[in-house]
Amino acid sequence: MGFASPVNTTWWRRLTSPQWRWVLLLAAGAVLILAAWLGFRKIPTTTFDLTRHSVPLDQFVDGGPGKDGIPAILTPKFVPATDAAFLHDDDRVLGLTAGTEAKAYPVKILNWHEIVNDTIGGKAVVVTYCPLCGTGMAFEAEVQGKRHTFGVSGLLYQSDLLMYDHQTESLWSQVGMHAVSGSLTGEKLTPMSLEHTIWRDWRTAHPSTGVLSTRTGSFRNYDRDPYEGYRDSAELFFDTTHVDSRYHPKEWVVGIDIQGVTKAYPFTELKKVSSPVTDQVNGQRVTVRFNATTRSASVIDEPGQQIPSVTAFWFAWYAFHPDTQVFKAP
């Protein structure tokens, strides 16, 4: 007892010999290189229950601020257009309508909050904006027959906002439009048509619009853009699984999904042709209306109704839709 057998002693001598130490160092280095090549990432520490999930956990990324570090707006206040002196004509807004009611959500506010829980036309909605992806999207806030309210999780998936609902703390992908972890995994959100435009055009089209007020309950300098310079740079803050270099990563596109078939219309292509553009996607006729001045686009179906679309940076649309069709100007 207490002594190594001759066999073990022999192996120990071999393992501690200079030649074997080099072999072990090379093997360890190879493992580290392989891990880096495979894009190995640590699963972020979080209080959310990730036991049930529909996407790989190592693709969740800690965005930095932490849960509710970016405060969602739960009780939004609105002012009439005549009192929205904090907005300049060329400021970007997200516009939502329901019946005769119209509301504008300034991007200069959404940059700091990302989520607004609201109602319009008597319907509960959640208006979301991810500055990293340029994606403003609105959804009905009813899930499984119950109203849900949403907050900012502090986590990202494909460089995009992961929301969480306060009722179950499930995580929701904004661009993916479904729950990716928690008890509601697999549940889908119902998108609403949302316009990306500038304040002058929205105000002209909807003079009685309400405007999200800067009285948010949070102390923020809404005249300062925390993402200044980001939209013009080809650099991303966070990696994505799928990458395509056909366009600048931050090229604006409007994307649609017609029963599982996706198509992107890059603004740089739409600029080359007269608007509107008529197209066929998955056997359905669609019309894309593009305004180069306001850098905005909308998609109309054959009966003439606007359908939900996603205005996004090219890299973000492609990250979620790597098999997307792409419109090319003739």
Has residue 220 got a pLDDT over 80? yes
How many angstroms separate the CA atoms of 330 and 321, rounded? Answer: 23
Task: Give the pLDDT confidence score for residue 140 in this predicted structure.
Answer: 98
d(CA 113, CA 152): 8
Phi and psi angles of residue 8, each rounded to the nearest 5 degrees, phi first: -65, -40
More confident residue, 26 or 221: 221
Rounded mean pLDDT of 115-127? Answer: 98
Mean pLDDT of the chain: 90
How far, in Å, are 68, 214, 220, 223, 262 from residue 86 at the CA level? Answer: 26, 8, 13, 8, 38
pLDDT of residue 44: 75
Q: Give the integer Cα–Cα distance in Å for 239 and 157.
A: 9
- Which pLDDT score is estimated for 20? 52
Whether residue 6 is predicted with pLDDT greater than 60 in this model: the reply is no
* Backbone dihedral angles phi then psi of residue 4, each to the nearest 5 degrees: -75, 145
Cα–Cα distance between 147 and 32 in angstroms, integer?
A: 47
pLDDT score of 46: 85
- State the pLDDT at residue 45: 74
pLDDT over 80 at 41, yes or no: no
* DSSP state string for 136-154: EEEEE-EETTEE--EEEEE
DSSP SS3 for 6: helix
Confidence (pTM): 0.86
Does residue 174 contact residue 153 with C-beta atoms inside 8 Å? Answer: no
Question: Which amino acid, 236?
Answer: L
**Per-residue pLDDT tens for 172-195?**
999 999 999 999 999 999 999 999
**Strands 123-130, 135-140: pairing kind:** antiparallel
pLDDT at residue 18, rounded to an integer: 54
Q: pLDDT tens digits for 144-166?
A: 999 999 999 999 999 999 999 99
pLDDT at 30 over 80: no
Q: How far is CA 249 from CA 56, 176, 177, 243, 263, in A?
A: 24, 19, 21, 9, 17
The C-alpha atoms of residue 113 and residue 222 are separated, in whole angstroms, by 10
Residue 281 is given by DSSP the state E
Alpha carbons 25 and 40: distance in angstroms, whole number: 20
**pLDDT tens digits, one per residue of 242-269:** 999 999 999 999 999 999 999 999 999 9
Q: Which of 136, 111, 116 is nearest to 126 (CA)?
A: 116
Q: Rounded to an integer, what distance in angstroms lies between the CA atom of residue 17 and that of residue 26?
A: 14
Q: What percent of the chain has pLDDT over 70?
A: 87
Residue 288's nearest CA partner among 309, 314, 268 is 309
What percent of the chain is predicted at pLDDT more than 90?
A: 86
Cβ neighbour number for residue 260 with a 10 Å cutoff:
7
Tell me the C-alpha distance between 262 and 282, whole Å. Answer: 9
Domain edges within the chain: 57-212, 252-326
